[in-house]
Structure 1
Amino acid sequence: MFSHTCQLRVRYSESDRMGTFYNSRLLEWMEVGRSELTRAAGKAYAEWEAEGVMAPIIEANLKFKGRAGYDDLLCLETTCERAGRARLKFQTVITMAGTGKPVAEGFTIHALTNPEGSPIRIPDWINHLLNGEKYEQ
């Protein structure tokens, strides 16, 4: 399992009339966490695709724990683990950066496929990421 933490500030366009973030933004923020995790591991997701590894979402689970409004600084902690021979699970916990107060959490499960959409086994270089080893070319 590999873990990475990054920060994100709630933008004005992401808040609603109730003074909190709009619910669909949670999936976008989780994408930020996944992208930063793969980048921190040494191989950005764009490089995965360049090597013929696609990772479409096949399942998502979201839990809303608290509020976050415009200009709040959030902490996104994302972990990645195996969810089968050809699947990965990315779990994200979002808290307020200053206080650690819970905002949301969730996970997405991704099938690994080739560009044509056929399932593929987890490549060795992704296994290195899952073992907590930074990818070195």
Structure 2
Amino acid sequence: MFVHRLRVRYSECDQQGVVFNAHYLFYYDVALTELWRDQVVTYQEMTEKGDDLVVAESRLRYLRPGRFDDEIDIAMNVHHVGTTSLVIHPEFRVGGTLITEGEVRHVCVDPATMTKKPIPDYIRAGLTGRDQ
């Protein structure tokens, strides 16, 4: 399982002194980019091949607050790789404690037309660890 660590910056905290909720989707996006770089190809390489991803649905559940200067480990659990979409269950942890969890569904699209298309074999293989 791929895990990306980042540190909470002061500007990402709200008046209560905790990470503003919307930043978790930004953190997720950073971790997704690094997952892709590590296991598939760079995002630019993917779009040059004529492939792209869009978020179709996202859900987050906040269990505990993240705070300024916390190091958050984002585990990117690839839950499902279907024909045209994939589902990732991210888990956000501070010091091993689960603080936020969720589910994000992406759909593979043609970047020129933004129409849905099957997930290419190189993406499927990178995410599942299996050759197609």
- Structure 1 length as normaliser, TM-score? 0.87
* Partner deviation per Cα, 1:82-109 (whole Å, 9 max, x = no partner): 353100112210000xx31111011211
Structure 1 counterpart of 2:36, from 35, 38, 55: 38
2:73 is aligned to 75
Partner amino acid, structure 1, of 2:70? D
- 1:14-33 residue pairs with structure 2 within 5 A? 14-33=12-31
**1:118 offset after TM fit, Å?**
1.4
Structure 1 counterpart of 2:84, from 79, 83, 86: 86
Change in Cα spacing, 1:93 to 1:55, as seen in structure 2 (3 Å) is: same
**Unpaired runs of 5+ in structure 2?**
none
- Structure 2 length as normaliser, TM-score? 0.91
Matched residue SS, 1:40 = helix
Higher relative contact order (CA 8 A, sep 6+): 1
Identical positions, percent: 27
RMSD over aligned CA atoms reads 1.6
1:106 aligns with 2:102: yes
2:50 is aligned to 52
Q: Is the 8 A contact 1:7 1:73 kept in 2?
A: yes
1:128 aligns with 2:125: yes
Aligned pair count reads: 130
* Partner deviation per Cα, 1:39-75 (whole Å, 9 max, x = no partner): 1114122221121111110100110010111111111
Change in Cα spacing, 1:101 to 1:81, as seen in structure 2 (3 Å) is: closer
